[in-house]
Amino acid sequence: MKKTCIVFIYLPGHLSALPAARLTFEANSVVFSYGHRYIQNPLAIPADPILLPLSRRPFLLDLDRMGSLRDSAPDSWGRRVIDCAQNRSDLLEIDYYLNENVGRIGNLDFRPLPNSPEPAFGPPAISTMDELMEAAEAIEKGYPANSIRPDLLALLEHGSTIGGARPKTTIASSPDLWIAKFPSVKDRWSNGRIEAATLSLAKLCGICVPETKILEVGGRDVLLVRRFDRTWTGDGWTRTAYMSGLSLLGIGESERAHFSYLNMADRMRQHGMAGQLKELFKRLIFNMLCRNTDDHPRNHGFLITDDGFSLSPAFDIVPTPSTPGVSTTAYLAMEAGPLAGREATPENCISGHDRFGLDAETAKKIMADMTLTVLNQWRKCFKEKNVSSSDMELFAHTFERWKK
């Protein structure tokens, strides 16, 4: 059955979106077509500058390769929230795109008609955090939709396009918007404090990271991460175009064989980001050092402005515990080097230095400096975020295994 929706685009600096294109879903194919009026607008920008450049011709897309369109649509947690809110398990792909959501990542929106109004703005405030956390936990536990207040489900939907499987939403805390990451029923430690501390450590290693805060709600920790795709103007929030690493690579989530830092570096160079390859290399090294094995391409992002592409601040960097003598070899989610694929070892991560525009000596010095920072500063960062002593000891070997 053929179903269509309209793709709206927020132009730079604008608080309302323009109808830009028609998106038609049919079976396993999708057709994207820019509107003639939008194409004629001298301020028009593409919905995806790589996959969907401005053109009068239609684009035939694969459902698994939707580029920035998919980045702006609900991910796994968001789909669970929407399924619960609508009390259905048979929603079509277009239904997820059309779910009204003012908290979408990037500068795109999806609406039924060209004259559809702006979505009503109403991200939840911090004061509702305890109720939101309880509702998120109920969804995780699979409670029936009629056991959760509809207004809380509606508020949780504001975070439905933020990637990943962990419970979360977008909240407003003047003048910024924040991603609120709730504890999961599966957590064995304070994931929020661990993530905040690790991002602080990444910053000390010279990596750009977003601002974070920890809130204690009902004796549990909620991590707030400041959104980097929104800017407050005094009248509202403008939106910055966003693309995941997956979309930059031009691949789908099922194409895991093509998940690669080396390929990402090549694509960055092709799109004018050669000057940021050193930063990407640092992120690779840091993920190795902290044993972040969830560094897949959707957990890397790029912002798109009038100045072109740039790496977004790093996010979703969470270490995994390491036990001495057990599971000593770790593997990243992406190819780290030509020597040993995804194996998270210094030798392998250094082996592709030339793809990042670095000579061997420079790459080795970066790794040595970052390793020293991790060894000397990780406990300080964890203490500053009030990580418990028991949780710190769970991760001690993860960071200290680099001692010679």
What ranges do the domains of the chain cover?
Answer: 3-68+89-111, 238-400
The secondary element (H helix, E strand) that includes residue 59 is strand 59-62
Structure tokens at 209: 């990271």
Q: What's the CA angle centered on 31, arms 158 and 300, to 5 degrees?
A: 45
pLDDT at 165: 77
Residue 37, C-beta contacts closer than 8 angstroms, at least 6 positions apart: none
Paired tokens of 159: 């975070």
The pLDDT score that the predictor gives to residue 279 is: 98
Token reading at 115:
């004259």
The pLDDT assigned to 372 comes to 98
pLDDT, position 376? 98
CA 287 to chain centre: 16
Can you give the pLDDT at residue 159?
Answer: 65
Handedness of CA 99, 83, 214, 400 (dihedral sign): negative
Please check whether residue 7 is in contact with residue 23, taking contact to mean a CB–CB distance below 8 angstroms: yes
**Weakly modelled stretches of the chain, pLDDT under 70:** 121-122, 158-161, 163, 326-328
Q: What is the pTM of this model?
A: 0.94
